[in-house]
Amino acid sequence: MLFDFKLSTPEEGLVDITNEVTEAIMESGVLEGLCVIFCPHTTAAITINENADPDVKADFVLGMDRSFPELSAFRHAEGNSDAHIKSSTIGASETIIIAGGKPLLGTWQNIYFCEFDGPRTRKFYVKIMGG
């Protein structure tokens, strides 16, 4: 079963999509299986990270900016090579185990859509497989 979602993103940052993924799993009726969350964009990504302290999200953005700064030596004319590099570094998808009809996540884990070149209207897919 394939679900697609739209979201409005900030200039840069993590958008919590755990509720959307959980709702898709519940709607699918799958109790045991796997779930793939996929981002079809080249300047965004999907990740799992801490849900408790919101400062983690801010530090994530700061850390990514420091690790992958925009360089004048970049050749890509669109001027967002840093966002392309961040996208590939974090990755376009996450695979999650479905157990008991819910995503199997650690206590401190949530699922995030990462925006590196916003604000934009984005989408992501959730593919749910039972068994």
Q: Decide if residue 49 touches Zn ion (CB under 5 A).
A: no
Among 18, 80, 93, 109, binds Zn ion (CB under 5 A): 80
Quick one: which of 39, 129, 30, 51 has its CA closest to 90? 39
Q: Decide if residue 47 touches Zn ion (CB under 5 A).
A: no
Q: In what order do the strands lie in the sheet with 121-130?
A: 2-8, 121-130, 32-38, 93-99, 102-103
Give bridge partners of residue 94 from the DSSP assignment.
37
Residue whose C-beta lies closest to Zn ion: 78
Answer yes or no: are the C-beta atoms of 96 and 35 closer than 8 Å.
yes
CA distance 66 to 85: 13
Min separation Cβ 86 and Zn ion, Å: 12
Q: Decide if residue 70 touches Zn ion (CB under 5 A).
A: no
Min separation Cβ 117 and Zn ion, Å: 7
Of the ranges 7-15, 49-57, 78-86, 119-127, which one interacts with Zn ion (CB under 5 A)?
78-86
Residues making contact with Zn ion (CB under 5 A): 78, 80
